[in-house]
Structure 1
Amino acid sequence: MIYNLYIFDKFGTLLYYGEWNRLKQSGITKDEEAKLMYGMLFSLKSFVNKISPTDPKEGFLYYKTNKYALHFVEISSGLKLVLNTDTTATGIKDFLLQLYSKIWVEYVVRNPMWTMGTPVTSDLFKTKLDEFVKQSPIFGPKII
């Protein structure tokens, strides 16, 4: 199950936040939550790179608690995609890379109305992202 998505630029600016099956709210503003998320990611990446006993080629990719999993992909341009899911979700790295190439590049990067470093406000992007997420097998609750 997909809970929410953060997209940050290389400077830590929250470019987009989306939410689908999130049941519990943090109790703080979305801006404060995004700053906490980015700060945690920055710290985790640094920790993983410094403490790893081998050369961490990809560095930090995800962590898992008993309630959710946080998945992280950083594109070579510095764009950071963060997806929170349930603990059973698989194939998230591929999902995020497809989201980047099929949705982000097509509807944000190629949009002449968007300025780098500014939040994405395109309704077309939001619609296409929502369709992409909802068609994914990891989107919603498993029906048995």
Structure 2
Amino acid sequence: MAVYAFYIFSRKNECVFAHRWKPADSNSMETLVSQLESATFEEDVEKLIFGVIFSLRNMVRKISNGKDDFLSYTTSQYKLHFYETPTNLRLVFFTSPKVEPLTHVLHQIYATLYTEFVVKHPLYTQVPPPLEKGGINCEMFRITLDRFVRTLSFNETDNISLVAFNVYGHITTYFNELLYT
């Protein structure tokens, strides 16, 4: 299993945070990751991602009589996982296609990491600026998100099991390592 990218979109439908991981194994996803990192493609990738999510959510709402049940979609190369917060932030993961929906992990990232490092940050604004203007510029959030994602383990069928389920304990351990080493 591999996590390829993570995005946060604001309630104004702008990308305010993006983080990408390079896949450990050599496969077709390297092409997607290299495209995500290329300067010419990167300008529009966030808009394309949000456009796909917006369109699919509208289609799901129409098919399911107004229910908003869109959690993920899968292609042959990746799976997109989606979570919308009560404040209309939208969190998105790109992973390998066989992974079960990660809505609970996205919720955990929002409820713990985002709240701890972004909302409680002294320079926090309710509507973060778009990525072009700096976005969510909190290095502790980025580092802790990276470490948290690396603690996720997957078995041979790519079903998720959380190695470090206690996120606050993980954060506390991480801060202690930073402060005392």
Q: TM-score range by the shorter chain?
A: 0.7 to 0.9
**1:91, CA displacement in angstroms?**
5.0
Sequence identity percentage: 30
Residue 128 of structure 2 corresponds to which residue in structure 1? 117
Residue 62 of structure 2 corresponds to which residue in structure 1? 50
Which of 48, 51, 63 is residue 39 of structure 1 equivalent to?
51
Residue 166 of structure 2 corresponds to which residue in structure 1? none
Q: 1 or 2, which has the higher helix percentage?
A: 2
Secondary structure of residue in 1 paired with 2:5: strand
Which of 130, 133, 140 is residue 146 of structure 2 equivalent to?
130
Residue 104 of structure 1 corresponds to which residue in structure 2? 114
Residue 76 of structure 1 corresponds to which residue in structure 2? 86
**What is the root-mean-square deviation of aligned Cα atoms in Å?**
1.7
Residue 61 of structure 1 corresponds to which residue in structure 2? 71
What runs of 5+ residues in structure 2 fail to find an aligned partner?
24-29, 130-134, 159-181
| Greater relative contact order (CA < 8 Å, ≥ 6 in sequence) | 1
- Runs of 4+ that moved beyond 6 A: none
In structure 2, give the amino acid aligned to 1:83: F
Alignment map for 1:133-144 (pairs within 5 Å)? 133-138=149-154
In 1, distance between residues paired with 2:147 and 2:55?
33
In structure 2, give the amino acid aligned to 1:18: H
Structure 1 or 2, whichever has the larger Rg, is 2
- Per-residue Cα deviation, 1:64-109 (whole angstroms, up to 9, x for no partner): 1122111111111100011011112225111111111111111001
In 2, distance between residues paired with 1:43 and 1:125?
29
Are the aligned partners of 1:13 and 1:117 in contact in 2 as well (CA < 8 Å)? no
What runs of 5+ residues in structure 1 fail to find an aligned partner?
none
In 1, distance between residues paired with 2:73 and 2:101?
14
